[in-house]
Amino acid sequence: MATLPKESFLALAAVAWADGTYQKNEGTALLRAAKEHGIEGDALAELESATKQRTSLESVHFESLSEWDKVLTYALAAWIALLDGIVSTEEHASLRALAGRLGLSAAHRERAGAAAFDVSVLPDGRPDKYDFVKLTARLRERMPQFAKSDKAS
């Protein structure tokens, strides 16, 4: 499985905080997913802190992310925002801010968001699952031009 950098998970934590609350199960699931993607040591400690204290997108540096990492990070964030069934005004604003920070065009943002929606309506698309594998596969189908740039392809 391709790994995501710490910055992607920090962005996910920031989006999860957008509505002003962060559920304990969200933090547990996000940390588990980060560990599955090779995040450990100081990077994992930094992410754990971001799940306990509100973090913002402005504190995350995205310069080292590949194009694939950027669209996958956005799709994952969109999926997380969708999982409770309601994308709040704050979450929507956070997603737009994330897209801007990542440098994603409106078309790429829409396609990545559509992949997130596809997975969110699956019977097992619950937030405690954080099944990034299914979302990654769907994103590869919807945006193959970026998947080709994925180091693990």
- Other CB atoms within 10 A of residue 128 CB: 12
Listed residue (30, 40, 122, 42) closest to 73, CA to CA: 30
The answer to the question of residue 45 being in a domain is yes
The answer to the question of residue 1 being in a domain is no
Question: CA–CA separation, 65 vs 59, rounded Å?
Answer: 15
The answer to the question of residue 152 being in a domain is no
124 CB-side CA count, 13 A:
7
What is the domain-level CATH number for residue 130? 1.10.3680
Question: CA–CA separation, 30 vs 32, rounded Å?
Answer: 5
Over the stretch 54-99, which tens digit does the pLDDT of each residue have? 888 998 999 999 999 999 899 888 887 776 677 888 889 999 999 9
The answer to the question of residue 129 being in a domain is yes
pTM value is 0.82
Number of domains into which the chain is organized: 1
The answer to the question of residue 86 being in a domain is yes
The answer to the question of residue 61 being in a domain is yes
Question: CA–CA separation, 150 vs 120, rounded Å?
Answer: 23
Domain span at residue 123 reads 6-147
